[in-house]
Chain A
């Protein structure tokens, strides 16, 4: 295993890891101690009915998202249809915005003066009643989280050696190859994506709150919202997080297989394309699904939002009305994403290259932090930062950045670790033999080779930070709200036109950097496709 012999460099890496552990651990301690002292743990355990309902709703959402996402992944990677990239980007839209924005869009469809007015009051009322319940929650979570199994399955499909499929197709028809060769290779990734959706759905609270569904997440918040019972809420949050951690630990073999399936090849990208589904009824059906699924998942909620706007000028009015919140979101999002990219790179290197021992414990701790309900964790930050030497930082709003970094840093760390596994260590070892120190190797070899991945890390961090509502809502300094918080506070009795305009602004805000990157890298993609086609 590659290791650094330089004490100063190792100390720096260890300090970075300890910084994250302290950043997330101290608020966690501020939660654990009162919960244990208050003796609220037995009362905080959810009852059986609530657990069954939560598992049923999230399980169904995960199943639907898994099936939909896997289907779309096969269509995008194995049909060669034109416009696949645009379709993939459209499907990503619900994931990039706060989930409640998607819920709002869906609910606006059933407004008496909405786009479905022609259905009549009776049918609209019935639809509205259906939506404001478990069905609305399942539909929204399916729409929001489908991209996760889709991207994981698509990545696994890209990692399958094309010549393997080609060889198999000389012996068997394409559908047998898909089922018996390709399918088993990508199944762990699809499974891991589905499990990820299950866990994300279990912990998400804004959509069940909006649709008035009493599930695990809202149960925890009830103790805060109704009874101001911080100790009880903290105890409930901890039991939920520990349950998540137990589920993740039990499914460790699935994650390991998925990690292996998703590992990019250390060799050069294959210059032959994967064989595609041949012309026929299945290809026709795939074309139909490629239009139908994005329409259901992304276009319909957007349609709900656009339909209640009085005119396009509402968008301009909303931008003027919320200019300060918009600016704050951009500034905070860009800065925090930069910080997360930097820390993610350092920690990903330290943990991924084995410099920091205790990798497994670190990863479990990071997943635990990710699994905690954000609002409860945010109160932990209030309890720990609103006194002593950290108080000036609390007043300044730096606490918001700290809380977001603590919550989301595991994602960049995992992304960097995944990327480093594809980098041949031989290059660093060769440089070491030539006398390059660890800092030189990090900055002159690892960093340049990671530049593209780090751009992806920044984009993912940007989306996670800008769309966050629950953490920022609890911690933002008075008068310094961000756009998602502004939307959330204006939803109560605000005009649907204003709220929907602000939601659309939110979508644009999140999408602009990825779209800019996509536009900038389009020539590179076309060049790559051209090379592959030339080889064929």
Chain B
């Protein structure tokens, strides 16, 4: 025990503040550093991992953007049967992983059959301490709104899995993976419903593209568009694969 009362106070305060910081970080959902971007502007962004699985470090992360092919789209809250390219004409390959070994040593993009980027993963090397934040960089290319659309904004929901232990799907738990995903798609990657707030679906991160200027014919408000990935896409794109071999979840 420290016999110097002043040092003892400092040590105790340090421990208390550390506990407070850890408690705060436990509340931090994984989110994008820049959740809103303006049309026509390219942005360097980060996926910000806020904490581990309890006191277990993060060893990897998987990030998926809706591909717009079979995504669920709403316009001002109402279902929309068209395509995301009805609003953002160059949607499909806007996001690019920026190479960085600051947190994890290995990384790559996830692509569709045509080579367009659907998401990315990073992992391996050192692990991210459970009490520290980690920045996973990527770049968002300039989006172009379709000239004749009245969309004022397009929000895409970004699904993220922060992995603490490589397990099969049957091993998913609060100790092995943090799922920042929708809770109502019916996939093994769905975030658990919060019993305290059963109607909330606040798992995924989001990236909102804001219109630079509405056509005058659209009035002053414009329409709010939201895009969720399909269950089929999440099942296909959430896993991490190296040269075609699935690494996570463990097969």
- The answer to whether A binds B is no
